[in-house]
Amino acid sequence: MHVTAFGQHRLEATAPWGLIQKRAEEKVTASDKTHSPTDLAHFAMLSRGNCWLSVEGIPKPIPLTGGDCILLARGTSIVMRDSLRTRPRLSFREIGARAKSNVAHYGGGGAPTTIVCGSLSFDRANLKPITQLLPRFILIKADEARTLALHKTMQALASEMAEQAPGSEVVATRLAEVLFIQALRAHIASEWEWRNQGWLRAIFDPQVGAALNAVHDSVSTPWTVESLAAAATMSRSAFAVRFKELLGQTPLEYVTEWRMQKAMQLLQQRDKKLIDVARSVGYESDAAFSKAFKRVVGANPGEYLKRGA
C-alpha cells in the first residue's frame, strides 16, 4: 500500500466541547482528488488533556489521556468529547474546515485538550478495501508497547505538515507510511479485546495463520484445500469451516485473490511479459491467467493497465 497523509490539523479544544463523525459525513477531498469509500483511514493523537471516545458497536465509552492514539477505518462512527454529559455539536469535517494554518479552535473556554488528527489515503490498488483487511478501530494507549516511536513519528508528521517547508509533502508521505506500520505494530502488541478482528484475526490464528503464511511464502505452489489443511495441521473439513468463519471466503478463493493481488503488483512494473507474470503466480498459460484475472479483478490484464495509466 502507498500511504499518503492529508487534511492534518491540530485541534485546540476547551471544555465543554464535543465532536461527531458519521459515515455520511466522510467525503474527503485531497489534492483535488476525491477518494473512493475504500481507501481512507483517519488517525488522531491526544497530545494534551483528557476526553471520552464513543465508538459505534462498542458498548462502553473509552477514556482517553495524553499520548493515546486511535486509527479509524472509513465508515466508523465516533463521538469525542470532554464529558459524557456534553452533546456533540460539530463534525470533525466542520472543524477541519475551520482550521487556519493547520490549527483549529473550538469549545467553551474551560479545561484545554489538544488533538492532532488527519487522514490517510491508500493509493495502491487493492482487491480488498482497507476496512476488510484491518479492524475498523485501533486504540493504542500511551503506556503500551512500541508507543514511543509512534508518538515521535506523529509529532514529526504534525511538524512537517504545519511548517510546509520545501519537501514537506514528500517527507509527510514517508512519515505517514511509517506511522501506519507503527500503529499496526502497537495494535498487534496490545491486549485489547477487539484486537483480533478482520484479516489480522486470521493471521494470528495458530492454524489458519500457518496456512496463510504458506500461501504468502509460495504463491505459485498448486495449492489445494488438502495441502492447505496439512499446512494448518487440521482435517480438510475442519480447516475449510474455520477458514470460512475467519475470512468469509473459501481457502481457494483466498489463494486466487492473493495471486491476483501479486499479479497486479507485477503488472504495474511493466517490464515483465504476461506469461512470466502468469507463471510467477502459479499459472502455466497466459490464457488461463487472463481468465482468472478478469474474473477476480473485473478486467483483463491489458484493460487493467490502461485503466491505471
Tell me the CATH number at 104: 2.60.120.280
Residue 71 lies in a domain: yes
Give the C-alpha distances (Å, rounded to integers) separating 32 from 6, 28, 174, 175, 273.
Answer: 12, 10, 20, 21, 35
Beta carbons of 183 and 120 less than 8 angstroms apart: no
* Amino acid 269: pLDDT: 83
Domain count, the chain: 2
Q: Which domain holds residue 123?
A: 3-195
Residues 218 and 188 in one domain: no
Residue 226, CA atoms < 13 Å, CB-side half-sphere: 1
* Amino acid 35: pLDDT: 38
User: pTM score, two decimals?
Assistant: 0.68
Average pLDDT, consecutive stretches of 10 residues, N- to C-terminus, the chain (309 residues)? 74 95 54 45 88 93 91 87 95 85 90 88 64 74 73 77 74 80 74 57 88 95 97 97 92 94 87 92 95 92 80
Q: How many angstroms separate the CA atoms of 248 and 271, rounded?
A: 35
